[in-house]
Amino acid sequence: MRHTLPIAPQFYVTAPQPCPYLDGRMERKLFTALQGEHAQRLNDALSKQGFRRSQNVLYRPSCAECSACLSARIRVADFTPSRTQKRILKKNEDLTRSATSPWATEDQFQLFRRYLDTRHADGGMADMDIFEFAAMIEETPIRSRVIEYTRPGDDLTGDRPDREGRLTAVCLTDVFDDGLSMVYSFYDPDMTARSLGSYIILDHVEIAREAGLPYVYLGYWVPGSRKMGYKAGYDALEIFKGGEWVPLGNPADHRAELHPLSVDPIAEQVAKISLPEARGS
């Protein structure tokens, strides 16, 4: 007789620490280990319920004072770039995209350091060394890819012409059964005119379309956070709210998520998580 049993991971909660998105708030995370033969299926299932991956851990914000961190994704089939986004695509037509296995390189790390030092020098990742960077890229128990973008070399005429191009942007991307998840991206901080952060998102929509995947997962959108506000500028955006995916609509309609009464107790949050089944016999 064949039967199925639910995969039953253990969930834990981190200690409170200052929120990186909203001043004066404290954050905590609900998390579980991502490992073993069921890792891909657990990741696929929980990512559809607002979880994100960091190396071998799946986590979701579970703060005591608000529920403002809302997982966001783009519906690929319904997405239409704005006029500004079309200009961004045009500016970056010369970039070459390549997808590789999750393996860290020295070129990636040098670009990563320049990006952090320029854009996030006081952030939580500011002190990462090459070993921690390699762990971020390589420690993945699921289907992941590193998407690299290179531009033509500046000098094709000298004694040592740069024919392979220059690394311009990188995105660590997870592949789900229903989409792509942009785990972390970084890019040349000196090329602000190219709007490379936006371009990487737009190109991931194209990658998902080419692969027949319906969604691109962008991480969290946070009402009231300037740092995360840009995600509301993408067409066909959905957020995970109240246990279901709903269209973003007017961003101002989600201010209630900043209220303490919007938060369910931890036990109720865990009880509502839908877990995949483990196939057995």
The dihedral region occupied by 242, where left means phi > 0, alpha psi between -120 and 50, and beta the remainder, is left
Contact 145, 93 (CB under 8 A): no
Q: What gap in Å lies between CA 20 and CA 79, rounded to an integer?
A: 29
Contact 256, 60 (CB under 8 A): no
Secondary structure (3-state) at 99: strand
Predicted local confidence at residue 178, as pLDDT: 96
| Burial degree of 180 (CB within 10 A; 0-12, 13-18, 19+) | buried
Contact 85, 198 (CB under 8 A): yes
Nearest to 238 by CA among 65, 72, 44: 72
Q: What gap in Å lies between CA 246 and CA 231, rounded to an integer?
A: 15
Mean pLDDT in order along the chain per 10 residues (281 residues): 64 91 90 91 95 95 87 97 97 96 96 89 75 95 97 58 76 97 96 96 98 97 85 95 91 74 80 80 40
Q: How many whole angstroms from its chain centre is CA 24? A: 24
Q: What gap in Å lies between CA 145 and CA 238, rounded to an integer?
A: 24
Predicted local confidence at residue 156, as pLDDT: 44
Predicted local confidence at residue 4, as pLDDT: 57
| Domain boundaries of the chain, sorted by first residue | 3-280
CA distances from 227 to 1, 18, 21, 89, 224 (A): 53, 15, 7, 22, 9
Contact 107, 167 (CB under 8 A): yes
Predicted local confidence at residue 266, as pLDDT: 84
Q: What gap in Å lies between CA 137 and CA 42, rounded to an integer?
A: 20
Predicted local confidence at residue 187, as pLDDT: 96
Predicted local confidence at residue 204, as pLDDT: 98
Predicted local confidence at residue 155, as pLDDT: 46
| Burial degree of 127 (CB within 10 A; 0-12, 13-18, 19+) | exposed
Nearest to 271 by CA among 6, 4, 3: 6
- The domain 3-280: what is its CATH number? 3.40.630.30
CA-CA-CA-CA dihedral for 52, 85, 145, 231, to nearest 10: -10
Predicted local confidence at residue 5, as pLDDT: 54
Contact 42, 34 (CB under 8 A): yes
Q: What gap in Å lies between CA 222 and CA 50, rounded to an integer?
A: 13
User: At 182, which helix (H) or strand (E)?
Assistant: strand 179-187
